[in-house]
Structure 1
Amino acid sequence: MADEQQDEQEKSQEATPQKLQKAREKGDVPVSTETHTAAAYMGLLVSLLFVGGVSVDSAGARLKSFLARPETYLQESLSGELIFAAAISVGLAMLPILLFPALGVIISLFAQQAFVFAPSKIGLKWNKLSIASNAKQKYGPKGMAEFARSVLKLTFVLSVAGVVALGFFEDLPGLAKLEPALLGGALLDQALGLITLFFLSAAIIGGIDLPWRRFEHAKRNRMSFDELKRENKETEGDPYMKSARRERARAIAQQQQMLEVPKADVVLVNPTHYAVALKWDQERGGAPVVVAKGVDEVARRIREIAAEAGVPIKRDPPVTRSIYELVDLGEEIRREHYAAVATAIHFAEDMRRKARQFKWGE
């Protein structure tokens, strides 16, 4: 007991995504079965509202001949074949009512991300056969808390069932006086009221149980500072994680540099494999700066954005390749590039001036 409390005190940090993923692989997920129950009742309620009348009428029509002459069926079918066929027929008629509850449970499973295949859960756990271990689990603090929750849920459900039963027994004399043609609709109304109350009770219990299960799951997977350090070391040393981080950084850098292309003064191209976007701030002084560069697909995208933004594009393969290889993003071009880049900037200014004159001429 003292060891468990000390362990809980040491594990004061929230679980990392890696820790939660490992727990999920072991089948440890926060799942509320009460929410599944509420979803099943909800599906049953929807099915009764939309297809309940049709299914009940269909079942009644299939049972009509049997109810009218039950003694004939019993005499003609000592083996029960006709009765079995009638039961199958009624079951098929009522099948649509059962599909919605199943669909509700499936939706609840997906919503809670509870579909997990954990091979470790399949094997035999010898500690579960231990009397001492089972007694500790059932009669320890966690077991007693679970027992208290079960008692409260049972009390609540029995209270709701008692209210429903009282209402049904009060209506029973009136139902007995109804004609057979009206009995199905009356029973359907009773079923709707019953399922509605059960759904509301299950929804209340599920609304309390689900946050509690998630709280327990988060508490159970808390980590100590030592565990965090070990995980960080493992993550930093993982080649896959390093590669993934580099890919993310590269993608972010490419996305950011594409935003700078429309602001460039000129774009130098190879023209197919390389592209370099340059910007010259005359007020700041200094040499032009590389604001974007790339090869192949990235170069093609730089050319497209430049064309859409009206940035002049100049073909100069040797200078383009040299700047791409020697100058990083955000750096000024080298001295050996000054003459060629000055020519490119003059070319860009001439292109812009001609474009303005053409526009004014129109």
Structure 2
Amino acid sequence: MRMDLQYFAEGGQEKTETATPKKREDTRKKGQVAKSNDVNTAVILLVVFILLFVYAAVPGQFMHDLFIEMYINYAGMSFSIENVMALFFDLIFEIAIVLVPILIAALFAGVVSSMLQVGVLFAPEAIKPKLSKINPLKGIKRIFSARAIVELVKAFLKIVLVGLVAFGILGIYVDELLQLALMDVVEGFHLVAWLTGVIGIACALLLLLLSVPDYVYQRYDHEKQIRMSKQEVKDEHKKMEGDPQIKAKRRQRAKDVAMQRMMQEVPKADVVITNPTHYAVGLQYDGEVMAAPTVIAKGADYTALRMRQIAELNEVPIVENKPLARGLHDGTDIGQEVPEDLFRAVAEVLAYVYRIGGEL
């Protein structure tokens, strides 16, 4: 029943058509792309924990120096607002030196993982504030929607699997952990740090593996969301073709360009056959490259007048032959050879033109 209501709400048009390139571009500009946040999370965790393996000596040394400085220098410091503020800013600065490389690595990993999924994308419309996002009714619908249930199941599955991996690794090193109380501080710190890194990388690899089907599902769901009805596809094609007046202007412009090109061919004609006022046809014949005379220009009324004027300016012979002019105009296209049934009449005209030209 719910699907029927949605179907009629959309005008009775079922969305069965694959999205057009324009629809994909429009949705991309709105920030609606196929993207899995699980991929970002997994890649960030993997990069951060790998960096910690390489970078672990720095925070370890920092904590060691910090404890020494606290017990030696800070323990005897008088309690005052100035001393507390100085201590606070000093600690903030030293902590920032340690954490900034890790934060930069996490930021870089997040950007790269997003670009691998959606490419370079800047969609300011996606971050515009929308009142619908704070609507309590829509919020409740989102909480109890099918997508929310799927996300809940995914989160529960990830927690269970990550917990199994973590406890599995701890179980392997349970003997070393039981001896942790007998180790000195540095050795114990190294063991805990190493186990933390191993667990982190193992869990990140697990999440990365789990993110693959999620990414596939997100692409499928995105394609489903942007599907179009047949009417939407037709409307988009009409919109892309443009306004009828604009199309008429384009056709007229193309016609003018074609007319100009045709007029440039008139001076090359051997003869222009006229009606004499309504039609004009320009013929060219070169026995070495042409099997028959060819129509290189034709027109009626104003076009015919312009052809006669250009022919006169370029001293191209003009021959009046009403039936032949009408037959060539109606029976041939520009660039086409003269039809066989008009060969005799055209040959007579050309012979006359060549004879007149020879006498001149």
Change (3 A) 1:186 1:158: closer
CA contact (8 A) 1:55 1:94 kept: no
Determine the structure 1 residue equivalent to 2:148: 143
Determine the structure 2 residue equivalent to 1:358: none
Which residues of 2 match residues 58-207 of structure 1 at below 5 A? 58-60=61-63, 62-63=65-66, 65-66=68-69, 70=71, 73-76=74-77, 78=79, 79-80=83-84, 81-82=86-87, 85-86=90-91, 88-113=93-118, 115-119=121-125, 121-126=127-132, 128-131=134-137, 133-164=138-169, 166=171, 170-207=175-212
Which of 22, 25, 31 aligns to 2:35? It is 31
Residue identity opposite 1:147 in structure 2: L
Q: Deviations over 1:193-216 (max 9, x none)?
A: 022112112202211211111111
CA contact (8 A) 1:42 1:199 kept: yes
RMSD, aligned α-carbons: 4.2
Change (3 A) 1:126 1:106: closer
Residue identity opposite 1:15 in structure 2: A
CA distance in 2, matches of 1:83, 1:167: 41
What's the secondary structure of 2:183's corresponding residue?
coil
Per the TM alignment, residue 172 of structure 1 is displaced from its structure 2 partner at its CA by: 2.6
Number of positions where the alignment pairs a residue of Structure 1 with one of Structure 2? 256
Determine the structure 2 residue equivalent to 1:215: 220
Determine the structure 1 residue equivalent to 2:296: none
TM-score (norm 2): 0.57
What's the secondary structure of 1:14's corresponding residue?
coil
TM-score (norm 1): 0.57
Per the TM alignment, residue 142 of structure 1 is displaced from its structure 2 partner at its CA by: 3.5
Moved over 4 A (4+): 164-170, 282-287, 331-334
CA distance in 1, matches of 2:32, 2:224: 12
Change (3 A) 1:128 1:35: same
Which residues of 2 match residues 165-314 of structure 1 at below 5 A? 166=171, 170-237=175-242
CA distance in 2, matches of 1:94, 1:107: 20
Change (3 A) 1:153 1:60: closer
CA distance in 2, matches of 1:203, 1:84: 38
CA distance in 1, matches of 2:96, 2:133: 44
Per the TM alignment, residue 283 of structure 1 is displaced from its structure 2 partner at its CA by: 11
Q: Please, which runs of 5 or more residues in structure 2 have no aligned partner?
A: 248-287, 294-313, 315-334, 339-360
**156-165 or 31-40, which moves further after superposition?**
156-165
Change (3 A) 1:154 1:4: farther
Q: Percent of aligned pairs with the same residue? A: 22
Residue identity opposite 1:202 in structure 2: L
Change (3 A) 1:141 1:46: closer
Q: Please, which runs of 5 or more residues in structure 1 have no aligned partner?
A: 243-281, 288-317, 319-330, 335-362
What's the secondary structure of 1:10's corresponding residue?
coil
CA distance in 2, matches of 1:13, 1:177: 69
CA distance in 2, matches of 1:130, 1:18: 33
CA distance in 1, matches of 2:149, 2:98: 45
Per the TM alignment, residue 74 of structure 1 is displaced from its structure 2 partner at its CA by: 2.4
Per the TM alignment, residue 182 of structure 1 is displaced from its structure 2 partner at its CA by: 3.5
CA distance in 1, matches of 2:167, 2:66: 31
Per the TM alignment, residue 227 of structure 1 is displaced from its structure 2 partner at its CA by: 0.7
Per the TM alignment, residue 224 of structure 1 is displaced from its structure 2 partner at its CA by: 0.9
Residue identity opposite 2:4 in structure 1: D
CA distance in 2, matches of 1:232, 1:145: 37
CA distance in 2, matches of 1:137, 1:4: 19
Change (3 A) 1:33 1:173: same
CA distance in 2, matches of 1:90, 1:74: 19
Residue identity opposite 1:153 in structure 2: K
Residue identity opposite 2:77 in structure 1: E
Change (3 A) 1:285 1:196: farther
Change (3 A) 1:220 1:123: same
Is 1:16 matched up with 2:20?
A: yes
CA distance in 1, matches of 2:146, 2:195: 42
